[in-house]
Structure 1
Amino acid sequence: MSNSTLLNGLRVAVTGAGGTVGQAVAREALQMGASVALIDMKVPEALRDLSGAKYYTADLTDEREIRQCFEEVGQIDALLNIAGGFAMGRPVHETSDADWDQMFDINVKTLLHCVRQAVPGMISRGNGRIVNIAAVSARRGQPLMAPYSASKSTIIRLTESMAMELREKGINVNCVLPSIVDTPANRHAMPDVDHSKWVSPVDLAHVVCFLASDHARAIHGASLPVTHLS
């Protein structure tokens, strides 16, 4: 089987499809033969006319909206939880509840809302793939970004727990740990560094889509670093 057909015939949901990484993952999944549900608050015009893709607008932090969204999406074979965000903060002793809530809402609750809707169908069919996005910075604490690091560390633990709970039911759950991804926002925030060492969204998409494929059926609960040279 060639890389271009790794996801042939599969129904894949991509959350956060409007972001730079989400767009790359959606395009890669389509190129690999999947039909793709694009889920986000807003989906860019550039994705709306892609053959094999259909977009759904929903607030991923709102469980009611996500429930309605997945009712429209219907049966899926793979859930790619790309939605998330980053924010620098203050020292832990100066970090507010709102700061913690923001990072856990967009990085953890969005994931939980989606797996609650997707997993029961996967269990009933005895097959499924879930790929989550954590971060290299989740492996140890970082200064001035405790809420972000903690939320991404939570994703690793959730991935491991779900993998153990679901592997006997035919469902693979894994996550990737990118370092700095080469996005317009990151280039704007760090204009003077060597961007060539960052992870390209396309390279990250290759890894995500591999984990969503049958070629990764022996992998359960992995936290795979994707760092390029950064």
Structure 2
Amino acid sequence: MTASLPCTAIVTGGTGGLGSAVTEHLLELGWRLVVPWYVEGELDRVPVHPGLELVRADLSVDADVESVVELATKDEERPLFGIVNLVGGFVSGQRVHETPIEVLDAQLSINLRIAYGIVQTALPYLIRRGGGSVVCIGSAAAVRPFPGAATYIASKAAVAALVEALAVEYGGDNIRVNGLLPTMIDTPANREAMPEADRSSWARPSDIAEVIGFLLSDASRAVTGASIPVANTAGAH
């Protein structure tokens, strides 16, 4: 199976600061999107569009994950092909000996388990349909760590490892799996949290959205198992 549109993609975190840009871009490309949401206040970030189906879901709950995948697979004329995992969380400020183990558990849950769960649930369908493309959001910190965020860095490194493992396990099923390693993403929340920061190298959501669109398309059919850096290279010089 190829991504010859129209096809369906699930975009977790598709109403967030990055996700809303991804949602808008994929709709412009002609995708049917299923976007689970949890925070009602984020809904005004995404457009009203006939190709967009919003569903309230707690992706840490297996039954909700199953409902999202069921919705995404109900339209046989627009089969599920893409999985875009954008849900994530960040904590920093303490070294390991100062950080409760519960913080690690929470970071692994939001950054790794949710991605694992949605992919695991969708895989049987993608196998039956003959293929698909999965994109997971990681972090440049996984390969260039900094002090004070070990739980976050470990969880994002686990995402990169999951990408590589999935690519090996499901390449024979024509399922491609790739990860993105952004620097800091230029979202309103990050600007508010760090108003004095130098944003010249911060990754722009619109640029990341275009990379994701490429990775879901047939143009990237030779790319799998990759961890791809994304940054604002134009502003870094």
Q: C-alpha distance in 2, partners of 1:7/1:185?
A: 35
Cα deviation for residue 76 of structure 1 reads 1.2
Kindly provide the amino acid, as one letter, of the partner of residue 15 in structure 1: T
Q: Could you say what the CA RMSD is over the residues aligned between the two structures, in angstroms?
A: 1.6
The 5-angstrom pairing of residues 126-137 of structure 1 reads 126-137=130-141
SS at match of 1:155: helix
Q: C-alpha distance in 1, partners of 2:105/2:47?
A: 32
Confirm or deny: 8 A CA contact 2:15 2:23 kept in the other structure.
Answer: no
Q: Residues 104-126 of structure 1: CA distance to partner in whole angstroms, max 9, x if unpaired?
A: 11100110110111111111111
Confirm or deny: 8 A CA contact 1:89 1:146 kept in the other structure.
Answer: no
Q: C-alpha distance in 2, partners of 1:97/1:30?
A: 40
Deviates more, 1:133-142 or 1:14-23: 133-142
- Pick aligned residue for 1:177 from 168, 174, 181: 181
SS at match of 1:119: helix
Q: C-alpha distance in 1, partners of 2:12/2:187?
A: 17
Q: C-alpha distance in 1, partners of 2:54/2:191?
A: 28
Matched, 1:60 2:68: no
Q: C-alpha distance in 2, partners of 1:39/1:196?
A: 31
User: Residue in 2 aligned with 1:14?
Assistant: 11
Q: C-alpha distance in 2, partners of 1:139/1:198?
A: 17
Cα deviation for residue 21 of structure 1 reads 0.7
Q: Residues 29-51 of structure 1: CA distance to partner in whole angstroms, max 9, x if unpaired?
A: 11111111111213513426223
Q: C-alpha distance in 1, partners of 2:38/2:196?
A: 31
SS at match of 1:98: helix
Matched, 1:29 2:26: yes
Confirm or deny: 8 A CA contact 2:65 2:118 kept in the other structure.
Answer: yes
Kindly provide the amino acid, as one letter, of the partner of residue 164 in structure 1: V
SS at match of 1:154: helix
Confirm or deny: 8 A CA contact 2:6 2:32 kept in the other structure.
Answer: yes
Q: Residues 106-147 of structure 1: CA distance to partner in whole angstroms, max 9, x if unpaired?
A: 100110110111111111111100000001001143211001
Q: C-alpha distance in 2, partners of 1:202/1:101?
A: 31
Kindly provide the amino acid, as one letter, of the partner of residue 148 in structure 2: L
Unaligned stretches of 5+ in structure 2? Answer: 74-78
Deviates more, 1:48-57 or 1:128-137: 48-57
SS at match of 2:15: coil
Kindly provide the amino acid, as one letter, of the partner of residue 40 in structure 1: W
- Pick aligned residue for 2:147 from 143, 147, 168: 143
User: Residue in 2 aligned with 1:208?
Assistant: 212
Unaligned stretches of 5+ in structure 1? Answer: 1-5
Cα deviation for residue 201 of structure 1 reads 0.5
SS at match of 2:145: coil
Q: C-alpha distance in 2, partners of 1:90/1:198?
A: 23
Confirm or deny: 8 A CA contact 1:141 1:150 kept in the other structure.
Answer: no
The 5-angstrom pairing of residues 154-169 of structure 1 reads 154-169=158-173
Q: 1:196 to 1:29 in 2, by over 3 A?
A: same
Confirm or deny: 8 A CA contact 2:90 2:107 kept in the other structure.
Answer: yes
Cα deviation for residue 63 of structure 1 reads 1.8
Cα deviation for residue 227 of structure 1 reads 1.5
- Pick aligned residue for 1:193 from 186, 194, 197: 197
Q: Structure 1 segments of 4 or more deviating over 4 A? A: none
Matched, 1:38 2:35: yes
